[in-house]
Structure 1
C-alpha cells in the first residue's frame, strides 16, 4: 500500500513538472509577443488548455506510454516508481535551470532503461518514436522559416496589417493559437505522468487523463514562470502575426501525432519553430545565442540521463547485478573526471595569457612597439 501511494505521489509531482516545462512553454509565444502582457494570465490560459486537451484527447498517447514500448506485463508498482522517479528527477533539474525540456524524451528514456534492464523493448515502436522526434522538429523549423519569409513579404506589401485597428485582431489570434497549442500539450504530454500507472493497472485511462491533466495544469500555473520567460523572451522577439503562426504550427503538428498515439517533443517543436521564425527575421545571428546551445545540450543529454537512472535503479533494487552497477558507476566517474580534466586544461592557457599581460604592463607603453614575437605568440 505504501509503495502504491508513493507511485501516485511521484506521478503527480512529475505531472506538475510537466506543466512547469512543456505546458508553460506553449503560451511563451503569446507572452513574448506581447499579446498577453501579464505572465500569470498566460500561465492560467495554458493551464486551462492543457487540462481540456488531456481530458478530451489524451487517451491514445497514454496507451503507447503504458504498453507500447515495453510489455505491460512487467509493469508493477515498483517499476512504475522507478520509471516516474527517474523521469521526474531529470525534468526537475531542467526546470530549475529554466530550460524547456521535452517530457516525452525523459519519460521514454526512463521506460527504455527499464526495458534494457529486463532485456525486453519493442524496438520497432521505439524506432518509430525516435524518427518522429527527429523529423517533426525539423519540419517545424523549415515550415516556420518559410512562414516567416511569407509574413515578411506580406507585411511589406500590405502596410495596413501594422495599423492599430488590426493589432487587436492579431492579439486575439495569437492567444487562440497559444490556447490550441496548450490543448495539444495536454493531449500529448499528460501520458508521460499517468501512462505507467495505467499500464500497471492502477488507473483507468479516463481517470488517469483527468487526474494527470489537473496536476499538469497546476504545475503550469504555479511553476512555469522560468520556462515561459525563456521561450517567450530569451530566444527571439516575435510580433503578433509571427507568434500566431508559430503557435498554430506547433499545435497542428502535435495534435496530428497525438491522434496516432505518438509521444513527441512538443517543446522542441515550439522552440524550433521560434528559431525558424528568428532565422527568417534576423538571419544566422539567431544561432549565436547561448540559450539555443544550452537547449541543444539538455535535449541530447536528458533522455540518456533518465535511461541510465532507471536502468541503475532496477539493477540496484529489483534485479541486482554487481557487474552492471559497476559499469554504470565507472562511466559516471569517468565522465566527471573528463569534465574536470577539460576544465583544468583551460586554466594554464589563461595563466599564460595573464603572464603576458603582466609583462606588457611592466615594460610600459614606450617599448610596446618593440614587443618580441615570442611574447606576442606566448598564449
Structure 2
C-alpha cells in the first residue's frame, strides 16, 4: 500500500512537470506574438484550458499508455514507480534548463525500457506510435509553411492585418483562442502520460486519475512553465498575430485528432515545427541554424533513449538484479557522456588553434 501511495505521488509530480513543459509551450505563439504580454496570464489560461482538455477528452490516450505498449500484468507498484521515475527525472532536468521536451517521448521511452528488461513489448503498437511522432510534426511544418506563405502575401497586400493595423485587437483575440485550443489539446493528450501507468496498474480509476492529473498539471504550468514559455515564444522567431494563429490552430487540431485515436503525441515537437514552418517563410531556412533549434533537436533525440536507459537500469538494479546488464547500461551511459565531453574539448582546442593562427 505504501508503494502505491509513492507511485501516485511520483505520478502527480510528473504531472506538474508536464504542465511546465508540454502545456506551457502551447501558449508560446500568443506570448511571442504579443497577443498576451503578461506571462502570468498566459500560464493561467494554459492551466484552465489544459485542465478542461484532460478531464473532457483524455481517456483514450490513458488506455494506450496504461496497456497499449507493454502487457498489463507487468504493471505493479514497483514497476510503475520505475516507469514514472525514469520519465520524471528526464523531464525535470529539461524543465530546469528551459527546453520544451516531449512528455510523450520520455513516458513511452520509460515504458519501453521496462518492456525491454522483461522482453515484453507490443512492437506493432510501438512502431505505430513512433510513426506518428515523425508524421505529425512534419505535417505541422508543411501546413504552417503553406499558411505562412499565404499570410505573408495577405499582410503585404493589406496593412491592416499587421501588428499596428485596425484589426490588431481581433487578431489578438483569435490568437489567444488558438493558444487555448492548443493548451486544451495538450491536456487532452499529455496528462495521460503521468496517470496512465497507475491507471493501468489498477491503483486508481481513469476518471479520478484524470481529475488529479489535470489538477497537478495546471499547478505545474503556473509554477514551473515560465522558462519553457520564454523559449518557445521569444527565442525561436518573432511571430505576427496571424502567423501565431496558424501555429496554434494547426498544432491544436493535429493533437486533438491524435488524442481521439488514443495516440500520445509530442506536442512540443508539433508546436515548435509549426513555429519553424512560418519562421522559414519569414526568415528563410537559415532559422534552422539557430543554436536553440539545434539544442531542442538534440534533446528530442536523446530524451526517449535516456528515459529508456534509466528505467531499464532501475529494473536490473531493484526488480530483476542482473550484474551484466547493469554493467553494460552504465558503460553505455559513461561512453555517451564521455563522448559529449570529449567533443566539447576537441571543439575548444580547435577554436584555440584557429585563433592563434588567425594572424598568419
TM-score (norm 2): 0.97
How many aligned positions are there?
359
**2:270 aligned partner:** 269
1:82-115 Cα shifts (integer Å, max 9, x gaps): 0000000000010011000000000000000000
Kindly state the Cα deviation for residue 3 of structure 1 after the two structures are TM-superposed: 1.2
1:245-293 Cα shifts (integer Å, max 9, x gaps): 1100001000000000000001100000001000011112211211000
- 8 Å CA contact 2:29–2:233 kept in 1: the answer is yes
Separation in 2 of the partners of 1:75 and 1:192?
15
**2:254 aligned partner:** 253
- 8 Å CA contact 2:160–2:166 kept in 1: the answer is no
Listed as ranges, the gaps of 5+ residues in structure 1 are 361-375
Separation in 1 of the partners of 2:109 and 2:175?
33
**1:173 aligned partner:** 174
1:284-330 Cα shifts (integer Å, max 9, x gaps): 22112110000000000000000000000001100111111111111
- 8 Å CA contact 2:159–2:165 kept in 1: the answer is no
Separation in 1 of the partners of 2:284 and 2:5?
52
In structure 2, the CA distance between the partners of 1:307 and 1:171, relative to structure 1 (3 Å rule), is same
Listed as ranges, the gaps of 5+ residues in structure 2 are none
**1:365 aligned partner:** none
Kindly state the Cα deviation for residue 334 of structure 1 after the two structures are TM-superposed: 2.0
- For residues 1-379 of structure 1, the aligned pairs below 5 Å read 1-162=1-162, 164-353=165-354, 355-356=356-357, 376=360
The two structures, once aligned, show a CA RMSD in angstroms of: 1.3
SS at match of 1:165: coil
Kindly state the Cα deviation for residue 22 of structure 1 after the two structures are TM-superposed: 0.4
Separation in 2 of the partners of 1:14 and 1:64?
18
1:110-141 Cα shifts (integer Å, max 9, x gaps): 00000000110000000000000001000000
Kindly state the Cα deviation for residue 352 of structure 1 after the two structures are TM-superposed: 3.9
1:182-219 Cα shifts (integer Å, max 9, x gaps): 00001100100000000000111111111100100110
Kindly state the Cα deviation for residue 347 of structure 1 after the two structures are TM-superposed: 4.8
In structure 2, the CA distance between the partners of 1:343 and 1:180, relative to structure 1 (3 Å rule), is closer
Kindly state the Cα deviation for residue 353 of structure 1 after the two structures are TM-superposed: 4.3
1:151-180 Cα shifts (integer Å, max 9, x gaps): 011122233334643111101100111101
Separation in 1 of the partners of 2:249 and 2:237?
18
TM-score (norm 1): 0.92
